[in-house]
Amino acid sequence: MQFIGLLKLFGLIGSKIRQALLAASALGLAIACASAVSAQGITIGLIPKFTSDPYFVAANQGAQEAAAELGVTVEFNGPVGADVTEQANIIDRFVRRRFDVIAVSANDPDALAPAMKRAQDAGIVTMTWDADVNPDARSLFLNQATFEGMGRTFVEMMVRSAGTTEGDFLIVTAVLTAPNQNRWIKELKEYAAANYPGMNFMATLPGDEDLEKSKNVTLNYLQGNPDTTGVFTVTGIATPGVIEAVKQLGLEGKVAVTGLGVPSLIRPYLKDGSLTEAALWSPIDIGYGAIYIAQALHDGTVKRGDASMPAGRLGDLQFIGEDTILLGDPFIFTAENVDDFDF
Ligand code: RAM
């Protein structure tokens, strides 16, 4: 009886200490002497571009699911807004706490590379998911969809949404340094040039991963350019903001909007017809897959140049190129299917 009571007491103390460690790191305090390494399993730091986005909340949900299956600890921590300096600070804190793997979705491939290399020098495995850093600053990258496929998807969705293959178009992006958005923009322009040469790309404006800012840059632009045919939104959080701007100016039905969309953010617009389609992959699966890759990298069961690796319920994930693993194909949401998704 006494023994069980003692165990309970220790269990309680253990969980209190863990909570305190998590709270301290959330406040941005350096924990000089504490190690987050659990008795069993490795510790993985999962860093999103920013935390105030249901996309990244869902990624953490998938990561925790994988962590439970693998018996590892995943600490999810990122800046509230898309701030690369704060991402670097979080990496440095994870290094001091001697994490085993650091897995990042980067706001800037160059600015984050020095912190990733400091982690490598400390013997920590570094990897990326969703948005890459320079290849020498990480081992593997988990890409959500092929870059070419994304370029084609954006343009074909716009052709269907706008009902034309020509005109003047605006792109509203994330931060101007975002590696995945910059590559998608390059690919969509190349695809359009090859297939629909009447599409003119007039401007690319950053909404800085902020819904209100995405709305405001669109309002300002469309006030001066009301004959715009369509707006591409190449980051999830921008889409509702851009549609709100189009509605506010009474341009609905005249200026088409399409791009990436997180179902929970775009559902009302799909239902009221102001958005006909938007694409995404499963953010839950990208978080889940990232943790399987982190564990395999740590164990040495996957390396650059492999062909595939097993990732739990996702089955075998395929390599595309020697250091990139593919999650899958983007999925297109419409008013008919959006209720099937709960992220
Ligand atoms: C935002 C981020 C992320 C992107 C999604 C669709 O959450 O920019 O990198 O992949 O949108």
Structural domain ending residue among the three candidates 261, 280, 299: 280
Residue 292 has pLDDT above 50, yes or no: yes
Question: Alpha carbon of 75 to those of 49, 61, 90, 99, 121: distances in Å?
Answer: 15, 11, 11, 10, 21
Q: How far is ligand 1, taken at its centre, from the CA of residue 130, in Å?
A: 7
The pTM assigned to this predicted structure is: 0.89
> Looking at the structure, do residues 269 and 316 belong to the same domain, yes or no?
no
> Looking at the structure, do residues 117 and 196 belong to the same domain, yes or no?
no
Q: Is the CB of 55 under 6 A from ligand 1?
A: yes
> Looking at the structure, do residues 269 and 168 belong to the same domain, yes or no?
yes
**Residue carrying structure tokens 């250091």:** 323
For residue 303, being part of any structural domain is answered with yes
Q: Is the CB of 260 under 6 A from ligand 1?
A: yes
pLDDT band at 146 (very low <50, low <70, confident <90, very high): very high
Mean predicted confidence (pLDDT) in 8-26: 38
Tokens of 80: 């509230």
Name beta bridge partners: 166. none
Q: Is the CB of 83 under 6 A from ligand 1?
A: no
Residue among 53, 150, 157 whose CB has most ligand 1 atoms within 8 A, to mutate: 53
Residue 6 has pLDDT above 70, yes or no: no
> Looking at the structure, do residues 167 and 258 belong to the same domain, yes or no?
yes
For residue 316, being part of any structural domain is answered with yes
For residue 233, being part of any structural domain is answered with yes
For residue 12, being part of any structural domain is answered with no
List of residues 6+ apart from 180 with CB closer than 8 A: 130, 131, 132, 144
Q: Is the CB of 235 under 6 A from ligand 1?
A: yes
Q: How far is ligand 1, taken at its centre, from the CA of residue 187, in Å?
A: 16
Residue 161 maps to which CATH number? 3.40.50.2300
Q: How far is ligand 1, taken at its centre, from the CA of residue 76, in Å?
A: 16
> Looking at the structure, do residues 294 and 252 belong to the same domain, yes or no?
no
> Looking at the structure, do residues 173 and 235 belong to the same domain, yes or no?
yes
For residue 256, being part of any structural domain is answered with yes
Number of domains in the chain: 2
Residue 21 has pLDDT above 90, yes or no: no
Mean predicted confidence (pLDDT) in 8-12: 34
For residue 249, being part of any structural domain is answered with yes
Residue 17 has pLDDT above 60, yes or no: no
Residue 23 has pLDDT above 50, yes or no: no
| Residue among 302, 332, 343 at smallest CA distance from 142 | 302
Q: Which residue has the higher pLDDT, 7 or 85?
A: 85
Q: Compute the Cα dihedral for 164, 152, 157, 180 and give only its sign.
A: negative
Q: Is the CB of 296 under 6 A from ligand 1?
A: no
* High-pLDDT (> 90) share of the chain, %: 88
How does the average pLDDT of the chain come out, rounded?
91
Q: How far is ligand 1, taken at its centre, from the CA of residue 209, in Å?
A: 8
Q: Is the CB of 292 under 6 A from ligand 1?
A: no
Q: How far is ligand 1, taken at its centre, from the CA of residue 235, in Å?
A: 5
CA 263 to CA 135: how far, in whole Å?
Answer: 31
* High-pLDDT (> 70) share of the chain, %: 88
Structural domain ending residue among the three candidates 243, 263, 280: 280
Question: Alpha carbon of 215 to those of 80, 230, 239, 244: distances in Å?
Answer: 19, 14, 9, 7
Q: How far is ligand 1, taken at its centre, from the CA of residue 81, in Å?
A: 12
Residue 296 has pLDDT above 70, yes or no: yes
pLDDT band at 204 (very low <50, low <70, confident <90, very high): very high
For residue 6, being part of any structural domain is answered with no
Domain boundaries, position 230: 147-280
> Looking at the structure, do residues 153 and 273 belong to the same domain, yes or no?
yes
Q: How far is ligand 1, taken at its centre, from the CA of residue 104, in Å?
A: 13
Residue 29 has pLDDT above 90, yes or no: no
CA 193 to CA 241: how far, in whole Å?
Answer: 28
> Looking at the structure, do residues 97 and 196 belong to the same domain, yes or no?
no
> Looking at the structure, do residues 166 and 240 belong to the same domain, yes or no?
yes
pLDDT band at 199 (very low <50, low <70, confident <90, very high): very high
Residue 33 has pLDDT above 70, yes or no: no
Residue 9 has pLDDT above 60, yes or no: no
Residue 40, pLDDT score: 67
> Looking at the structure, do residues 155 and 240 belong to the same domain, yes or no?
yes
> Looking at the structure, do residues 136 and 199 belong to the same domain, yes or no?
no
> Looking at the structure, do residues 134 and 164 belong to the same domain, yes or no?
no
For residue 98, being part of any structural domain is answered with yes
Q: Whose CA is nearest to atom 8 of ligand 1?
A: 235
